[in-house]
Structure 1
Amino acid sequence: MSSALRSAVPASFPVPTLTGAARRLRALPSLHVGAAALIVLVGGLLLAIATTSDPLWWQLHFSQLGIFGDLSSAFFNSTLKVSGMIVVVFAFCVRRDVARLGRGPVRRGAATVACICLNVVGVNLALVGCIPLNTDKDLHDRVAGSMVLGFLALLISAPIMFNRLGKRMAISTGIATVWLVISIALFVTATINLALFETISCTAMFAWSGMFTHVLASAAAKATVRAEGAAVRHLAPRRIGRMVSSRGARTTT
């Protein structure tokens, strides 16, 4: 090969790897990921509602928007799939944040429990979009119910796993749990329809998740301050000892 051809051929081609993407994903703030899931979900639902051919869908449930095979149904089902995948990413971000707190503010296994419960929510949310109501109603209902149960399991386990995160966490968890249980009871007794129940449960889910990530961020900041203070207290005696020894050496000389 001539020197001209060698100079024209690059020595190495940049090969894309997953490490860079993994690092960026690990650095994503949980609150931003949760907000992205909420924005995608609300925006997609509004588009589906605005373009639906059934103006009475709200008398049944939100899943009614995804059964017609038109643009509205495409908006609805695609929104659930994308939102579910973002919630899965959110689950791993929460696991990262909880694991960073250590054993002090949370109990052992709290990161795994939170990740599993949120993954159940995210995966089943995506499956609701993959299985429209008119294709398999029983499976669709089971998937939707599993999503609610996953979030309820997280609420029930939170007072045990995250009981050291302060009163705000405890009060918010109690309110969300009571809110969700009451809505389930009202739906079972046919006091409210499924559309209203879905609205209530999703509101509780995202409101509690936003509070949870904010509490985790505050706890992480406090843990960082405590660690820095401990490091300063640990290094201060050494510095004082060095200063005293250096002064003693000067006086002897």
Structure 2
Amino acid sequence: MTSETHILFDKVRVPFTDSETPLFNVLIEPILVNESNLNDESNLNELNESILNDEQISKFKKIYLKNKIEDIDEHEELAQKLKTELNKNDIEAQTKKLQTINCCSKMCLQNLIFQDNALITYQKFQNLNNNQKDMFLFGIITATARNETTTKGQKRFKLSSEYIFEGIKICNLAFLIIYGIGEKYWRNIRNHFMQHGISPRIHKAIGKVSNFALSFEKVLEVISFITNYGNIYGLPSPGNNYCNYYKF
């Protein structure tokens, strides 16, 4: 480039309409840029300065929220389809467990319970959230726990080792399979009950922000940076410059 001062671009419009609600829709007018400014440190300090007024920020906020809702709706739709397919496979696997696992010498799953009812119970329990599952199991523990008197005459609280399903005594393994819970989870529930009673457990994911979350403030920082960069250095034209560079 031989001229010290040159026009980097004539006009750039982000090709969106109002109905498409883009993140930003701006018209950049012709900008004269001096090559000596490209290394000006003062310009670098201006890149992150906010130049958006309250009205622009308000518009971006509406667009941000609308796009966020649409993304959530699309994600939930895909998640629901996946969940439906997984549920189908899950039910098939659970049915096979009820029919084939030898839980104990009495074979509770095959001989003592109604498998159709056990399958329905499994489905309903799996549809509960973590807190609801915890409270349901706390209820079972509370109903079967008992007080015992030690040899020294002291009261001792002891958890029952008996398990009941629809009024029928079953073994521990049959109980875990019917509700689809693991031994570790059941052990943690019982230990928590012994120490804290029916107080809710605090799950690790509660209160955490998604790793993929991008706040509106960060979005504004990105917009401000791009706009400031364009004002200082200019932006390449999406038309001729791109085609010439790649020789289309």
Q: TM-score, normalised by structure 1?
A: 0.27
Q: Which has the larger radius of gyration?
A: 2
Which gives a bigger RCO, structure 1 or 2 (Cα 8 Å, sep 6+)?
Answer: 2
Q: TM-score, normalised by structure 2?
A: 0.27
Q: Quick check: which one's strand share is greater?
A: 2
